[in-house]
């Protein structure tokens, strides 16, 4: 006898997820993916760096709160009934943290503690949080792996290391499962080029489109493990469900460094008539080389970011 399909209240409910910083660059891409999978999504963002326009594709399908993650009341209400919290809210800038270290510590350190307290009190199953390659400091020519002693060179890196310690503490004491993902130079559509602390790729694209020479700080041979945003979203989603990811700290990158000078050349080739770059003195606190060993990610999630830099840049430029 054939079983009737589930309908109405018989349908199996999809898990509910909260995304802090969900109106930001990475957060909004994650929101789109969660919705595409049929999940109920809630977002909190104070719009300090995020934009409601990034959530345009979400329409009225999400519950959005414009608020600060240090607002325990708002955060507690959003965590209630959630299965997973993706904690992406942060002030993600090395130069900004050097200029305003207390602001960076408040947003990233105290903010993470606020999220973990709210999630634990609400009975959330797992918190997946963004850390950063900045915790390593300058590792020289080799690839960074998670067993290396962290030596951050900026208040931002210090705040992200504090985030990791808080996550470990809450997991080890059984209050909530956690995962920390060390992102390496994420790029893609919706990355803001207008901020004075904007990442190199959106700045270069905006300059080339405007007919201005992109500015390279230093000699341009500083190398980064650029990671396309869709690969980061995949890592976030897998980290929410895989048992092997619980309690882990993992690099999220493909292990393929590219120099800033090479990035400038690739972008110029995609923007007709773009002028050549100009060089200015290197900035304080900037890491010379940053490359990931993704072995732990591969082992825990069965996945490693693999979007080629040329393809990721093509999609980013094409998105406008």
The length of the chain is 320
List Cα–Cα distances, 257 to 53, 63, 224, 268, in angstroms: 32, 38, 5, 19
C-alpha count within 13 angstroms, C-beta hemisphere, residue 166: 24
What number of other Cβ atoms are within 10 A of residue 119's Cβ? 27
| Phi then psi dihedrals of residue 148, to 5 deg | -65, 145
List Cα–Cα distances, 119 to 26, 78, 128, in angstroms: 21, 9, 11
Residue 156 annotated among the catalytic residues of the structure: yes
Q: CA 320 to CA 317: how far, in whole Å?
A: 6
Q: CA 136 to CA 158: how far, in whole Å?
A: 10
Which of 136, 156, 187, 197 is the catalytic position?
A: 156
> Known catalytic residues?
156
């Amino acid at each position: 006898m054939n079983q009737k399909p589930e309908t109405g209240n018989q349908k199996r409910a999809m898990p509910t997820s909260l995304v802090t910083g969900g109106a930001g660059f990475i957060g909004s891409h994650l929101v789109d993916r969660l919705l595409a999978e049929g999940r109920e999504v809630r977002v909190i963002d104070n719009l300090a760096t995020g934009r409601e326009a990034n959530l345009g594709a979400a329409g009225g399908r999400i519950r959005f709160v414009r608020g600060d993650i240090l607002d325990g009341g708002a955060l507690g209400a959003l965590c209630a009934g959630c299965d997973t919290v993706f904690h992406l809210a942060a002030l993600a800038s090395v130069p900004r943290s050097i200029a305003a270290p207390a602001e960076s510590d408040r947003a990233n350190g105290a903010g993470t503690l606020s999220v973990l307290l709210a999630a634990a009190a609400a009975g959330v199953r797992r918190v997946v949080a963004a850390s950063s390659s900045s915790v390593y400091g300058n590792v020289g020519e080799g690839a960074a792996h998670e067993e290396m002693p962290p030596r951050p060179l900026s208040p931002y890196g210090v705040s992200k290391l504090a985030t990791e310690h808080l996550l470990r503490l809450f997991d080890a004491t059984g209050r909530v499962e956690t995962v920390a993902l060390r992102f390496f130079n994420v790029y893609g559509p919706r990355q803001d080029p207008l901020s004075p602390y904007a990442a190199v790729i959106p700045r270069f694209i905006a300059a080339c489109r405007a007919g201005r020479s992109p500015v390279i700080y230093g000699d341009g041979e500083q190398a980064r493990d650029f990671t396309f945003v869709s690969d980061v979203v995949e890592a976030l989603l897998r980290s929410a469900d895989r048992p092997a990811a619980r309690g882990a700290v993992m690099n999220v990158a493909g292990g393929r460094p590219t120099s800033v000078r090479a990035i400038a050349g690739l972008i110029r080739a995609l923007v007709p008539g773009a002028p050549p770059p100009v060089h200015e003195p290197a900035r304080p606190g900037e890491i010379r080389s940053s490359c990931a060993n993704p072995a732990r990610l591969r082992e825990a999630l069965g996945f490693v970011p693999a979007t080629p830099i040329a393809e990721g840049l093509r999609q980013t430029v094409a998105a406008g």
